Structure 1
Amino acid sequence: MSRVFALSPDQADNDSMLAALSEGGAVQQVVLSTGLRVWVVARYAEAKAVLLDSRLKKDPATLSDPALLFDGGRHPEDSYAVLGRHVLNTDGADHRRLRELLTKCLAPKAVDRRRGRIAEIVETSLDVLAASAEPDLVTEFAAPVLTSVMSEVIGIEQTLLDRLLTAVRVVVAGPDPRSAEAREAADEQHRLILEAIDDHDRFPGTDTLLKLAFRDHHPRGKLSLAEVMSMVALTVFAGTTTSTTLLAHAAALASTREDLLDAIMAGPASCSAVLSEVLRRYPPTPCATWRFAAEDVEVGGVTIPRDATVLVLVAAANRDPLAYEDADRLVVPRPGSPAHIAFGHGPHFCAGAPLALTTATMALPALFARFPRLSLAVPVERLRWTTNLGDRSLFSVPIRLRPDERPA
């Protein structure tokens, strides 16, 4: 009988579930909460192999019968697979063509050019946080920082981006993609992206995603209008929600552990080490987005059949005791350990990783420099999480900015 796989809003319960799943084997069939049967890959070595395996496709058109896609229905996390045409549901040459636009906007050199502006955004957000009566690391620091940064990367006015993100969040991470709410959100998403496209020439700068798209890609037939719109929606959601979680959660954990806080304040390299370890142990994307078997594929001694739906369980693979000593603990530094796969591996490695890491590496030291005695207003184990397979986010992280003393 297949194991039921569903994420928990409680981190301790989630850890227990992942441990039990990992003990069941590197590759196994599970049943999701909706009743959909999928194959999950839960060990590190096998996960990396699958992420490189060209027989496991991102494009659902790979299936021998379209009716096989999600058993002919819809699934709460299926939007990346079934909606639009973008880097998360394409393979090979199509994927490289679509990814080229993101690379221009998000490559390390492009991100480095934005460092001055990121620093200004962080300082402004800290001023707002300082004035808050009920400060929260998610809603009043991490999310404003990331949405402001993403506004400038894409080239969308901030208030318009906020409205677009609200709509995209319902489309991508809503509980029922067949609901009237989801349909209305999809219509709103479409309308707001067209509005942003109409306004993009008036946005400052020359290297925003929209300006590059309509200067270098769309006019030359490299990207259709529909593809540009899909890429905007994807970048809005993926570029804000996961990075918001990384920044807020890393800050929350550092407020409870002096060794993590010391590493954050010691310089960019040690701060990056903290972020890497938080990503390894608590990846904001618990599962890599859907893959589909183009043929029978043997992984870890198990044959995944043709047309199967496959999830790489990043959250389990990153804590595989065969890959990491003391895998359940945050250890900084962690010398000699393999690289985590929170950003993926191979051709679908996250294009936004340089921006996410640069922003967090700048924002975390600035936060604790301004508020060196910041502490959580609730125990870290009581923080609550969303249960979306592709985007595990914190609802809130209430804090005290100037407590009389740091909790033991």
Structure 2
Amino acid sequence: MRDLPVIPFDRRDPLDVPEAYRDLRAKEGIAKVRTRTGDEVWLVSGYEDARKLFADPRLGRSHPEPDKAPRLSNSALLGGPQGEAATEKADHTRMRKLFMPSFSARRMKALSDHVGALVDERLDHLATLTPPADLHAELSFPLPVLVICQLLGVPFEDREYFSGVSAAMADLGDEAKGIAAREELGAYMAGLIERKRHEPGEDVLSDLADELDDDGTIAQLAGGLLFAGHETTVNRINYGVLLLLANPDQLALLKADPGLAPAAVEEILRLAVPSLHGLPRYAHEDIPFGDVTIRRGEAVVITTGAANRDERIFPDADTFDLRRPPGDPHLAFGYGPRFCIGASLARVELEAVFSRLFQRFPDLSLAVPFEELRTNDGKLTGGFAELPVTWSGAPR
């Protein structure tokens, strides 16, 4: 067995990205590494390389010979190949056509006032509490869950159930557990879609109720939307708060001008790396790439968190800067044909939070030392289990 670096690299600070990604990027461009399952993969940590490979039609989420596929982890969601090589492109095109209209930028922008009102409600509730309080439990978690529930047509009162199933889906150590949870969430969504056939509403599941779904694919993808629609945004709220608290000069700018919230959100999206897991792709044919050839069947792991700190694209790449000049967009939502359909929704939610939170609670701070924050180790989406905060005086 060749002696190769093992990914993901360890890090001591959850707000940072290990230097090892930058070192490999500088020395080798894309580099052969080993995953913690023992398989060899190509690591992509450079911005331009990531964009090219995201858009390359010769790479897919499926594998030409699934039984021989290298694995990134034991995650049921992103640990190995998904779908059938022969039908992947057609299936992906169909699903994008089904879901994209519900998540268009125009529709999401129309939600902004409503989402802002929901944020105000959560902050009003927070103001009734005696500090310290868990911002994760009071804002970061319930807000995205409420928004995605309303959008999809999922009962908010089921949040504890599907949050528990989502946690099982995100398990990095037990693939069978993750697969069972994914199937359970798919069955739950199938039941909701069936109910919508008889009791339709103004929501995404009602829009899907008349679609044929013989194999449960639509219901499973809807379950994936429910999972991603709250898990990832929860993390970005938590990380955004921590990044702003760690950069008081930038926080002062935001407090003085809440109109900087969109700029703050883009820096949060660029710099927040709750998980270093990476996104796997598989070569469906040989791909010459620079000085190397990615052979058919080999795995490519795109690490957007490292690519978003590529110093060749982003000057002072590790610096949180609300005044960063416009330039190449970050890759937090991917790039190309699989660009995240929930990107506009996430931006609406994050801008609503960060245009309001520090206006209402200007002296918000951590209630425990940063080093004592508990991280979600062993979970695909990473992040923090809680975010204890405190404040003094009556918030405005």
TM-score range for the pair, normalised by the shorter chain length: 0.7 to 0.9
* In 2, Cα distance between equivalents of 1:393 and 1:151: 21
How far does the alpha carbon of each residue in 1:286-305 deviate from its partner, in whole angstroms, 9 at most, with x for none?
45532100112122322211
Map of 2:161 onto structure 1: 163
After TM superposition, list the pairs within 5 Å mapping 1:26-105 onto structure 2.
26-60=29-63, 63=64, 65-70=65-70, 75-80=73-78, 91-105=88-102
Which piece of structure 1 moves more, 252-261 or 382-391? 382-391
* More displaced stretch, 197-206 vs 103-112: 197-206
1:4-403 equivalences in 2 (<5 Å): 4-8=6-10, 10-11=12-13, 14-60=17-63, 63=64, 65-70=65-70, 75-80=73-78, 91-133=88-130, 134-179=132-177, 182=178, 185-186=181-182, 188-200=184-196, 205-206=201-202, 208-215=203-210, 218=211, 221=212, 224=214, 226-265=216-255, 270-284=260-274, 286=276, 288-380=278-370, 382-386=372-376, 391-402=381-392
- Of 195-204 and 311-320, more deviation after overlay is shown by 195-204
The alpha carbon displacement at 1:355 in A equals 0.3
- Which residue is equivalent to 2:5? 3
Deviation track 1:10-49 (CA, whole Å, cap 9, x = no partner) reads 3267433433443442211111122122111111111111
The one-letter amino acid of 1:211's match is S
Q: Provide the secondary structure at the position in 1 that maps to 2:279.
A: coil
CA contact (8 A) 2:258 2:356 kept: no
Structure 2: how far apart are the matches of 1:346 and 1:267? 33
Shift of 1:284: 4.3
The letter of the residue matching 1:116 is: D
Q: Is the 8 A contact 1:272 1:361 kept in 2?
A: yes
- For residue 136 of structure 1, report the CA deviation from its aligned partner: 1.9
The letter of the residue matching 2:53 is V
Name the CA distance, whole Å, in 1 between partners of 2:18 and 2:318.
9
What is the Cα deviation at residue 387 of structure 1? 5.2
SS at 2:141 equivalent: helix
Change (3 A) 1:380 1:16: farther
Structure 1 stretch 254-263 or stretch 346-355: which is displaced more?
Answer: 254-263
Pick closer, same or farther for the CA change 1:18–1:379 going to 2, 3 Å. farther
- The alpha carbon displacement at 1:266 in A equals 5.8
Could you tell me how far 1:354 is from its partner in structure 2? 0.3
1:314 Cα deviation after fit: 0.9
Counterparts of 2:377 and 2:25, CA distance in 1: 18
State the TM-score, normalized to the length of structure 2: 0.87
Q: Which runs of 5+ in 1 are unaligned?
A: none
CA shift at 1:108, angstroms? 1.2
> 1:359 corresponds to which letter in structure 2?
E
Cα offset, 1:51, TM superposition: 0.8
The code of the aligned residue for 1:214 comes to: A
Decide whether the 8 Å contact of 2:239 with 2:274 is kept in 1.
no
Number of aligned positions between the proteins? 389
Alpha-carbon separation, structure 2, partners of 1:387 and 1:40:
22
Which is worse superposed, 358-367 or 332-341?
332-341
Identify which range, 122-131 or 368-377, moves more after superposition: 122-131
The letter of the residue matching 1:364 is: F
Amino acid across the alignment from 1:356: A
SS in 1 for 2:300: strand
Cα shift readout 1:292-351 (whole Å, capped 9, x = no counterpart): 001121223222111001111111111111212111111222115321111111111111
Q: Distance in 2 between matches of 1:95 and 1:167?
A: 25
**Residue 285 (structure 1) shift:** 5.8
Deviation (angstroms), 1:270: 2.1
Distance in 1 of aligned mates of 2:82 and 2:214:
11
**Quick one: structure 1 residues 136 and 23, their matched pair in 2 at CA, closer, same or farther if it must change by over 3 Å?**
farther
CA shift, 1:79, in A, is: 2.2
Superposed CA offset, 1:66-90 (max 9, x none): 311236xx9323424769769xx97
What amino acid is aligned across from residue 35 of structure 2 in structure 1? L
Secondary structure at the counterpart of residue 70 of structure 1: coil
Q: Report sequence identity in percent.
A: 26
Flag the 1:159–1:225 CA change in 2: closer, same or farther, 3 A. Answer: farther
Scaled by the length of structure 1, the TM-score of the pair is: 0.85
Q: Secondary structure at the match of 1:255?
A: helix
Return the offset for 1:177: 1.2
Matched residue SS, 1:79? coil
Question: Counterparts of 2:236 and 2:53 in 1: how far apart (Å)?
Answer: 25
Q: 1: distance between equivalents of 2:353 and 2:198?
A: 28
Cα 1:67–1:345 change in 2 (3 A) is same
Mark the CA change 1:48 to 1:150 in structure 2 (over 3 Å): closer, same or farther: same
Q: CA RMSD in A?
A: 3.0
Cα distance in structure 2, aligned partners of 1:305 and 1:255: 45
Residue 39 of structure 1 aligns to a residue whose secondary structure is strand
